Structure formats: C-alpha cells, structure tokens
Amino acid sequence: MVTAGDFRNGMTFEEDGNVMQIIEFQHVKPGKGAAFVRAKVRNVISGSVVEKTYNPSAKFPTAYVERKDMEYSYTDGDLYYFMDPETYEQVPISPSELDDNFKFVKEQMICKVLSYKGKVFGVEPPNFVELEVTQTDPGFKGDTATNATKPAVLETGAEIKVPLFIEEGDRIRIDTRTGEYMERA
C-alpha cells in the first residue's frame, strides 16, 4: 500500500480498478484548511492524463507494471508476435496495443512489452534504431542554405524527413520517440 503523502514521480498505483502512474505531484499546505496532494496522473492502460487532488492519508494498492524485453518475430494477419528470449514462448499482441512509433521496428528487434497482471497493454520500441533508406529523391548540390529536407521511405515502410545529402541505400539512425532523423549510421 502507498499513501498519497508518499507519492513520487513515476510511481504506479491502483485506483478504482485502473492503473495510474504519477507524472508530477505537489504537496500543498494552504494557510487555512487541511493539507492535500495535487497530482497529474496518467492511466497506464488508456493513456489519458488527469489532474487530481488527494488527501495525504489516502491509501492505494501498489501496482507492479512488468516491463519485459521481448523480440519482435513476425506479423500474421492482424496480430504481431513477440518471443520471450528466456522461454521461447510466442506472445500475440493486437495492433491496438501498439503505439504509432512501432512503425520503426523491424523483425528481430528487442522491444519492451508492458503488462499488468498478465494483460499486455503496450509495447515500447528501442529509443534509437538504425534503418536503411529504400526510397528517396536525389538531393541537389548547393541547396544547403537552409535546413532543407526531403521525404524518405525506410525499410520498415515508415516515411520520415531526411537531409538532402541522404541517398537510397544509406543507413540512418532515428529517434523513435520523435520520429526524427538523427545521423548517418
């Protein structure tokens, strides 16, 4: 059990059957009246963020979110299969559990699979990935006065903006959190 007075950033707890994670919190002691805790919490399953106030003595059960490294194996129909590297067990995950940044993941990449009480609710790809550019327009020499970019299609099918000097066949590093080009690999 955790009390609202013990809240810390990143802590997870159960409230009304939902798993909540504290984004930020503040202990408030007004000049008049009782102290309270103002917290911005995110529902881990649905992703919604709300701001709530709690009595510092309110108690909540601690929620243990499991973050397990699993290898993305393949897609079959509308399911994505991840393999547990310890037991070699295949875990099917529906596309609704995947974030938009999953478009940068290719087969055999290690991702973190998030679950609570055995129910998978999300997949975190690695923060940085190296992918090959499969299609892009040729760049033009001398057009570098500004930070000019052009569209490029990667080996996973994702499309991002890259600098003009990048050509087909180049391997580039991408930040999956923002979807931005970082550097040549």
**CATH number for 88:** 2.40.50.140
pLDDT in tens, 102-143: 889 999 999 998 888 888 888 888 999 999 999 988 876 665
**pTM of the shown model:** 0.72
pLDDT in tens, 24-50: 999 989 888 889 999 999 888 777 889
- Which of 36, 42, 50 has its CA nearest to residue 9? 42
> Is 7 in the same domain as 37?
yes
- On the 0-12 / 13-18 / 19+ scale of CB atoms within 10 A, 174 is buried
Mean pLDDT, residues 88-102: 85
In this structure, what token pair is assigned to residue 151? 């569209």
Of the residues 45, 60, 75, the one at which a domain ends: 60
> Is 86 in the same domain as 104?
yes
Query: Sorting pLDDT into bands at 50, 70 and 90, what band is 144?
Result: low
**CATH number for 6:** 2.30.30.30
Q: Which domain holds residue 8?
A: 2-60
For position 128, what pLDDT does the model report?
Answer: 92
Domain count, the chain: 3
Residues facing 109 on adjacent strands: none
For position 70, what pLDDT does the model report?
Answer: 93
Runs of H (alpha helix) within 71-116 = none
Type of residue at 182 = M
Return the residue matching tokens 């001398």. 142
